[in-house]
């Protein structure tokens, strides 16, 4: 796809450790509602949670778009998706929550039609991708004209007790270059907590950004 990593493959989170993704400690420094708010979802929208894992953000997305909206939860790990099904089943959907459709994905393509969603969440995902640029391209493909994408990634600098190895983390500037190359422009850089940076991207390229 053009942005493949060189050298060793990136660290991937072990599905056997999925339970600790829901810890109260994590909620203290990365509450899912903060990222969902930054994405600016509106009732009735369709949103894709790419690299959804066991669903840490999925339920908050479903509440944000409401019963008239829809959430596509996509991951390449069958084990993570099974945990997501358990997570969703532990508590019945409220009357104001969107239905969640679950999809198993490959590394190189997202199993959703082009122009099918209003927004995409890529939270703690790009640093695990073999081809981060390609994943951003796929996110751009599935988003409708005027759609948006929120990228949330671990900072390489500063204190960070949790998280992946520092050498596997991405520089914000590199993410920006990939995003602009495949058709995104940066709308905002919202604050999402002490250990992460975030980029709110919009479909389209402003003149001079290539």
Q: Which one-letter DSSP state was computed for residue 182?
A: T
Q: How far is it, in rounded angstroms, from Cα 25 to Cα 46?
A: 30
Q: Where are the beta strands (DSSP E) in 33-142?
A: 46-50, 70-75, 100-104, 117-123
Q: Would you state the pLDDT for residue 37?
A: 95
pLDDT digits (tens, 9 = 90+) for 102-142: 999 988 899 999 999 999 999 999 999 999 999 999 999 99
Of 32-36, 155-159, 184-188, minimum mean pLDDT range? 155-159
Decide if 75 contacts 104 (C-beta within 8 A).
yes
Whole-number Å distance between alpha carbons of 56 and 8: 28
55: left (phi over 0), alpha (psi -120 to 50) or beta: left
- pLDDT tens digit string along 48-76? 999 999 999 999 999 999 999 999 999 99
Q: Indicate if the alpha-carbon torsion angle 56, 58, 41, 177 is positive or negative.
A: positive
pLDDT of residue 1: 43
Which of these ranges, 75-84, 85-94, 152-161, has the smallest mean pLDDT?
Answer: 85-94
DSSP one-letter code for 111:
S
Per the structure block, which two tokens stand in for 147?
């759609």
Write phi, then psi, for 21 (nearest 5 degrees): -70, -15
Q: Which pLDDT tens digit goes with each residue over 161-197? A: 778 888 889 999 999 999 999 999 999 999 998 999 9
Which tops the pLDDT comparison, 41 or 86? 41
Per the structure block, which two tokens stand in for 122?
Answer: 């890529």
Of 42, 57, 51, 61, whose CA–CA distance to 99 is shortest? 61
- 151 neighbors 186 (Cβ within 8 angstroms): no
Q: What are phi and psi of 56, to 5 degrees?
A: -60, -40
Helices and strands (H, E) in the chain, number of each type: 6, 7
The three-state secondary structure class of 127 is helix
- Sign of the CA dihedral with 96 first, then 103, 56, and 204 last: negative
Q: Which residue has the higher pLDDT, 12 or 59?
A: 59
């Amino acid at each position: 796809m053009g942005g493949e990593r060189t050298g060793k493959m990136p660290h991937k989170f072990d599905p056997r450790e999925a339970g600790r993704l829901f810890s109260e400690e994590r909620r203290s420094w990365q509450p899912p509602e903060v990222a969902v708010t930054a994405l600016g979802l509106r009732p009735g929208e369709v949103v894709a949670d790419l690299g959804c894992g066991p669903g840490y953000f999925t339920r908050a997305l479903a509440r944000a778009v409401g019963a008239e909206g829809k959430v596509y939860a996509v991951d390449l790990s069958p084990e993570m998706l099974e945990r997501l099904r358990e997570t969703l089943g532990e508590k019945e959907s409220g009357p104001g929550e969107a239905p969640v459709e679950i999809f198993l994905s490959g590394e190189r393509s997202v199993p959703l039609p082009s122009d099918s969603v209003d927004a995409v969440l890529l939270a703690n995902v790009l640093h695990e991708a073999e081809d981060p640029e390609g994943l951003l391209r796929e996110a751009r493909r599935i988003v409708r004209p005027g759609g948006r994408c929120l990228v949330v990634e671990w900072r390489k600098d500063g204190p960070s007790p949790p998280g992946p190895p520092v050498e596997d983390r991405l520089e914000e500037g590199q993410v920006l270059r990939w995003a602009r190359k495949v058709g995104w422009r940066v709308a905002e850089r919202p604050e999402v907590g002490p250990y992460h940076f975030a980029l709110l991207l919009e479909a389209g390229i402003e003149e001079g950004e290539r």
